[in-house]
């Protein structure tokens, strides 16, 4: 595999929410993206998702049940007749890493951010979201 420059890759495109595949490690894909605004709430039932903030501002909104938000634990939000989901805001600083566990509903909200993500090969960026208008297959820059 050839060396892939993250800064050069990010400088090569302007579109947002359109990930670029920069590496693969075992069954994990390493992607970079430019993000701005709010993405759709979604979950990845089969994969954790790691976010690393390279630049800009990023908040990960994580759905929890009202009980979890109060510190009581419990299951994942978004269904099943329990209390409506609460949203926990995870504010990231440049250089921070955060892992969203598999099955947890979340959405990135960004302001002119560049991010690096690690997730299982084949993971769809919009996860289980019904609104698939932002679905993008990553462009493999290793082949460019």
Domains located in the chain, CATH noted: 6-143 (2.60.120.10)
Torsion of CA 26, 5, 21, 78, to 10 degrees: 90
What's this model's pTM, rounded to 2 decimal places? 0.82
Alpha-carbon separation of residue 96 from 4, 63, 112, 139, 140 (angstroms): 21, 20, 16, 25, 25
Q: What is the pLDDT along the chain (144 residues), one digit of tens a residue?
A: 689 999 999 999 999 999 999 999 999 999 999 999 999 898 999 999 999 999 999 999 999 865 454 454 444 445 556 677 899 999 999 999 999 999 999 999 999 999 999 999 987 777 677 665 666 677 889 875
Torsion of CA 22, 8, 107, 58, to 10 degrees: 140
């Amino acid at each position: 595999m050839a060396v892939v420059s993250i800064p050069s890759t990010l400088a090569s495109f302007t579109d947002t929410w359109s990930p670029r595949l920069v590496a693969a490690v075992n069954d994990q894909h390493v992607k970079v993206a430019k993000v701005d605004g709010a993405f759709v709430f979604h979950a990845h039932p089969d994969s954790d998702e790691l976010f690393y903030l390279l630049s800009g501002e990023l908040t990960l909104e994580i759905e929890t049940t009202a009980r979890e938000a109060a510190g009581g634990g419990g299951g994942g939000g978004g269904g099943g007749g329990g209390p409506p989901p609460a949203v926990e805001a995870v504010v990231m600083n440049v250089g921070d890493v955060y892992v969203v566990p598999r099955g947890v509903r979340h959405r990135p909200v960004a302001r002119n951010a560049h991010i690096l993500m690690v997730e299982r090969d084949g993971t769809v960026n919009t996860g289980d979201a019904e609104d698939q208008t932002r679905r993008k297959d990553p462009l493999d820059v290793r082949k460019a």
